[in-house]
Amino acid sequence: MSTIRILCIGDVIGAPGRAMFQKHIDRLRAELKIDAVIVNGENSDARGRGITPRIVRFFKHNGANVITSGNHIWGNKEIFEFLGTAQQDLLRPANYPRTTPGIGVTIIEVQGVKIGVINVMGRVFMHEHLDCPFRTVDSILTYLKDKTRIVVVDMHAETTSEKNALGHYLDGKVSAVVGTHTHVQTADERVLPKGTAYITDLGMTGALNSIIGMKCEPILFKFLQQMPAKFVVEEEPPFVMYGAWIEVDTATGHATRIERVKIVDDAICSKDMDAA
Ligand SMILES: [Fe+2]
Ligand SMILES: [Fe+2]
């Protein structure tokens, strides 16, 4: 049986997240015999609320094959135009209106094998006006059908139930459904009965002692006072990198394995963050 391994990394938060990615990705690739890397970069700018063209190039330079995103893709205006260009490496959720800049699906080729990557966003407690993520993936699969059987879906959503539902809906139709957006890794990774690898949330890459990557104080202020507060990326160690890798049978496109990844590192300093 010929297989391929794909590593998916959860939402990278600000400079510490980028430094973690840069420091650990090559070793992970080698140790786990990874063929392709998909990273969610929606929070990877300095404020943890977007991505820039420079950061897209940073991820590519450091070995990411595809960068997925979510609701924070629109945090930097310079990315609007960038998404409208012909580049195929940065995805925004596919269920935005057809006229919105960017694409939500791409096909990459590694080791002579084509891998389709789809990014969609949930609607429950999020953007209820987006197109249906279930039907959006259905229609993309029609397009991918004669191109590749290996397909990974990044489902960027708030509720576990909506991600769970998409996993079961796509069981047997795609290689993997991995959740992002909630930034907390779930321990429910498994291969579903018909061969789709599934995890509700990959987790995040950034500061461990934080509230989903951001400094605690302003968020606590907001919860306690019910007033607006400016959220700031937490840059104090220790840092974590969370994700999961999947193994896929290239003949069937079905997953044979899914394993969680968790790295904790307290040695990253501001110099590493500046370099990332
Ligand atoms: Fe996020
Ligand atoms: Fe998000």
Q: How far is the CA of 2 from the centre of ligand 2 (A)?
A: 34
pLDDT at 87 over 80: no
Distance 213 CA to ligand 2 centre (A): 12
Give strand pairing partners of 255: 248
C-alpha distances in Å from residue 191, one per residue of 40, 113, 161, 167, 254: 21, 21, 17, 10, 9
Question: In Å, what is the CA distance from 74 to each residue of 77, 82, 259?
Answer: 7, 11, 31
Return d(Cα 102, Cα 99) in angstroms, integer.
9
Q: What's the pLDDT at 104?
A: 97
Catalytic one among 24, 61, 72, 168? 72
**Confidence band of 54 (pLDDT split at 50, 70, 90):** very high
For residue 110, what are the contacts with CB-CB under 8 A and spacing of at least 6?
4, 35, 36, 65
Give the closest ligand to the alpha carbon of residue 205.
Answer: 1
Q: Which of 95, 147, 84, 138 is nearest to 119 (CA)?
A: 95
Starting from the CA of residue 11, give the closest ligand: 1
Q: What are phi and psi of 34, to 5 degrees?
A: -80, 135
Is residue 114 classed exposed, middle or buried when 0-12, 13-18 and 19+ CB atoms within 10 A define those classes? middle
Look at the domain 3-207+236-275 and name its fold: Purple Acid Phosphatase; chain A, domain 2 (3.60.21)
How far apart are the two ends of the chain, measured CA to CA in Å? 38
Q: What is the pTM of this model?
A: 0.98
> Would you say residue 1 has pLDDT above 90?
no
Residues 6+ apart with CB under 8 A from 15: 46, 233, 235, 273, 274, 276
Which structure tokens are listed for 93?
Answer: 């959720």
What is the per-residue pLDDT across 151-160, written as a single tens digit (0 to 9) for each?
A: 999 999 999 9
Q: Which two tokens stand for residue 215?
A: 């400094």
pLDDT at 84 over 90: no
Catalytic, 168? Answer no
Short-list 56, 27, 26, CA closest to 39: 56
Residue by residue, DSSP assigns 216-253 as: HHHHHHHHHH-------B--PSPEEEEEEEEEEETTT-
128-138 pLDDT tens trace:
899 999 999 99
- Cα-to-centroid distance, 179 and ligand 2 (Å): 10
Domains of the chain, by residue range, sit at 3-207+236-275
Q: How far apart are CA 19 and CA 199, in angstroms?
A: 25
Condensed to tens digits (0 to 9), the pLDDT of residues 228-248 reads 999 999 999 999 999 999 999
